[in-house]
Amino acid sequence: MTHWIYMVRHGEQQDAEYGLDDGPLSARGRRQAELIAERLSGVPFDAVSHSPLVRAAETARVIADRMPAIDPQPNALLFDCVPTGMTEDTPASYESFFGSITDAETEAGHAQMSDAVGEFLVRKPGDVHELLITHNFVIAWFVREVLGAPEWRWMTLNQANCGLTVLAQKPGRPWTLVSHNDLAHLPFELRTGLPENALV
């Protein structure tokens, strides 16, 4: 009896390179979503949740079009957020990232991620398969939480658009990271969203 959580970052956003906060999927993002749907088509999902932001909601709709048995539901705990600010342990090289982010934003992000962990990383009875369609930082926080890494280490974890991360828990055991940012379903030209030189 295993509780599985499949985490997918949304597909590529249209005009993302122009710095828009949110927007619809690009044509490439739609294709990424179609391919992750094909990849997951044999999984008997008990629940599918997605961030309410447009790019995640559209990814969920594309997946649902390919997997009509699922009924994706928005969940505000999966919103994009910044879960911490600079701390004593955060390397100084990250200071520029936090320059435009307020304390209020990081406090809200931290509270959101605390609630998200309490909502999703809770053992459910039987074999459970959950799909979460969300954002880079949210997935990074969950992976950091499962690995028990220091809080600032979420910044060192990156997920490609429609990359697949899988978490699992068996009865009496801790959560484990089964796979991280699996891109086997995406051809090289569709691997977007990672830092340059990391698209392998």
> Is 37 contained in some domain?
yes
Banded model confidence at residue 168, pLDDT cuts 50, 70, 90:
very high
CATH number of the domain that residue 131 is part of: 3.40.50.1240
Q: How far apart are CA 13 and CA 66, in angstroms?
A: 20
> Is 195 contained in some domain?
no
Which residue reads 């004593």 in tokens? 88
> Is 20 contained in some domain?
yes
> Is 196 contained in some domain?
no
> Is 113 contained in some domain?
yes
Question: Does the pLDDT at position 103 exceed 70?
Answer: yes
Banded model confidence at residue 99, pLDDT cuts 50, 70, 90:
confident
Which residue reads 């990672």 in tokens? 194
Q: Which amino acid is it at 66?
A: R
What tokens appear for 56 in the block?
A: 């995640």
Closest CA to 34 of 58, 62, 13, 72: 62
- C-alpha angle 76-79-85 in degrees, rounded to nearest 5: 125
Of the listed ranges 63-77, 95-109, 144-158, the one predicted with least confidence: 95-109
> Is 200 contained in some domain?
no
**What is the span of the domain harbouring residue 64?**
3-190
Model-level pTM?
Answer: 0.94
Question: Does the pLDDT at position 21 exceed 80?
Answer: no
Domain count, the chain: 1
> Is 43 contained in some domain?
yes
> Is 159 contained in some domain?
yes
